[in-house]
A and B are shown apart, each in its own frame.
Chain A
């Protein structure tokens, strides 16, 4: 415990941990996946694994939107940015994600204009201010950010802007969870459901996990006690032989989600037949594109997009990390060739990536967790 930050309510955390330990069946191991990168961040920052009994292991999931963008889409973005008069924008996290010929900063050094923005509305404003440029917003993110892109497209349409479009890379969390459930690599006992995504989609979309796969799901908040409480709720379900969806984060997440957000996503976007996820490969109906009726705002309709699939660098094991098969430090290049300053893979780029979170905070319990993983 000596490297662990003592957070507020550490006593309550220990009490919860001991209730969790009391529910462990002798000889049984428990593996729970935290789907959301924000949860991974909390777990490493506060050393939550050190509070848990050795029988309970946390596995990091694919819920880091920057991490799951495949290299080919970065190359596509750079290709669009190279078209005449294009001014591209994206979130700061995206700027250092490597494509096959470098990241956005490298591309800018060769003449493109790719700027970071806080909000898609900042991109819209750039479009108004630069009528002689084609402003393209590279949209990324799960259902948390998709409504913002949708609202921005609606606004652009209402204003009749002709120089604004979206390079849409929004992904949806449910098909990714299903892909993990169907993968033979990993046996999970339950899921810590994502907090902010659920603010939009609500809790109902997770019900198939409990009903068809028999795995409990608890939607959780982001504080250390939220996560421990959720693990306790998962353990209690297993102990009682139940599997349902529960909402630990009901102070923020309504059971039915945000109906306005769902409506505007549906109004402006439609599911792609399939989309490539870094590490997880092609997943059916797992991403959104701009709906045909808003094609005027679809960068993929306006500009040539090569769409070439690029394999990840051989040394990079982000795919295994995203699937929860490898812990960050088990990757061959972790912390040596691949660091937050010079990332090879996406998991090291984003602060929500498991590798970056572990690199920044997680040095304390490697030995113990290795014993648990191997043993």
Chain B
């Protein structure tokens, strides 16, 4: 739950500019980007995601390092990814 998961922004949802579709290790889900208001989040950006919300923009190298770290910790990461995969926040 406290894990920050890096995701790549694929698109900003047209009818909901506070939501973005992201790719996290191949899992594509909608997340909320409202906390990054004013930071011009765009496709191709990397963000650190906590419980369905992007909390900070990061660069690709940091995203890769964060993902390697997460993969190294095992079960906690698998549980977080399973929870993310089950999430459907968009209407």
Closest to B62 in A: A251
Instruction: Kindly identify which residue among B31, B34, B50 contacts A196, using a CB–CB cutoff of 8 Å.
Output: B50
Q: Contacts A38-B3, A41-B73, A119-B89 known; A147 to B59 CB distance under 8 Å? A: no
Closest to A36 in B: B2
> Which 7 residue pairs of A and B lie closest in terms of their CB atoms, listed nearest first?
A119-B52, A351-B76, A118-B87, A121-B89, A118-B83, A91-B1, A148-B53
Number of B residues with CB within 8 Å of any CB on chain A: 38
Instruction: Kindly identify which residue among A64, A66, A93, A120 contacts B52, using a CB–CB cutoff of 8 Å.
Output: A120
The answer on a CB contact under 8 Å between A93 and B1 is: yes
Besides the known contacts A38-B2, A45-B72, A65-B2, 20 further A-B residue pairs in the complex with CB atoms under 8 A apart:
A5-B72, A37-B2, A93-B1, A118-B51, A118-B84, A119-B31, A119-B52, A121-B32, A121-B89, A125-B88, A144-B4, A144-B55, A145-B50, A148-B35, A196-B2, A199-B48, A251-B62, A252-B62, A253-B56, A351-B75
Task: Provide the B1-40 mask, 1 if CB < 8 A to any CB of A, else 0.
Answer: 1111000000000000000000000000001101111100
Point out the residues of chain B lying under 8 angstroms from A119, CB to CB. Answer: 31-32, 51-53, 87, 89
Instruction: Kindly identify which residue among A92, A261, A352 contacts B83, using a CB–CB cutoff of 8 Å.
Output: A92
Point out the residues of chain A lying under 8 angstroms from B74, CB to CB. Answer: 360
The answer on a CB contact under 8 Å between A252 and B48 is: yes
Q: Contacts A41-B76, A118-B52, A223-B69 known; A261 to B2 CB distance under 8 Å? A: no
Within A253-290, which residues are at the interface with B (CB < 8 Å)?
253-254, 258, 260-261, 264
Complex-state Cα separation, A148 to B34, whole angstroms: 9
Residue B42 CB within 8 A of the other chain? no
B contacts, CB < 8 Å to A: 1-4, 31-32, 34-38, 48, 50-53, 55-56, 58-59, 62, 65-66, 68-69, 72-76, 79, 83-84, 86-89, 91
Q: Would you give 15 A-B contacts (Cβ < 8 Å), ordered by A?
A: A91-B1, A117-B83, A118-B51, A118-B87, A119-B51, A122-B87, A140-B1, A145-B2, A147-B35, A148-B35, A199-B4, A199-B48, A251-B59, A252-B58, A260-B35
Task: For residue A90, give the distance in angstroms from its CB to the closest CB of chain B.
Answer: 9
Within A118-145, which residues are at the interface with B (CB < 8 Å)?
118-122, 124-125, 128, 140-142, 144-145
Q: Contacts A8-B68, A145-B51 known; A264 to B35 CB distance under 8 Å? A: yes
Q: Contacts A196-B50, A251-B62, A260-B38 known; A92 to B79 CB distance under 8 Å? A: yes
Complex-state Cα separation, A155 to B15, whole angstroms: 15
Closest to A150 in B: B35
Task: For residue B69, give the distance in angstroms from its CB to the closest CB of chain A.
Answer: 5
Closest to A222 in B: B69
Q: Contacts A65-B2, A222-B66 known; A260 to B34 CB distance under 8 Å? A: yes
The answer on a CB contact under 8 Å between B55 and A128 is: no
Instruction: Kindly identify which residue among B51, B53, B55, B86 contacts A91, using a CB–CB cutoff of 8 Å.
Output: B51
The answer on a CB contact under 8 Å between B69 and A42 is: yes
Task: Provide the A138-166 mask, 1 if CB < 8 A to any CB of B, else 0.
Answer: 00111011011001000000000000000
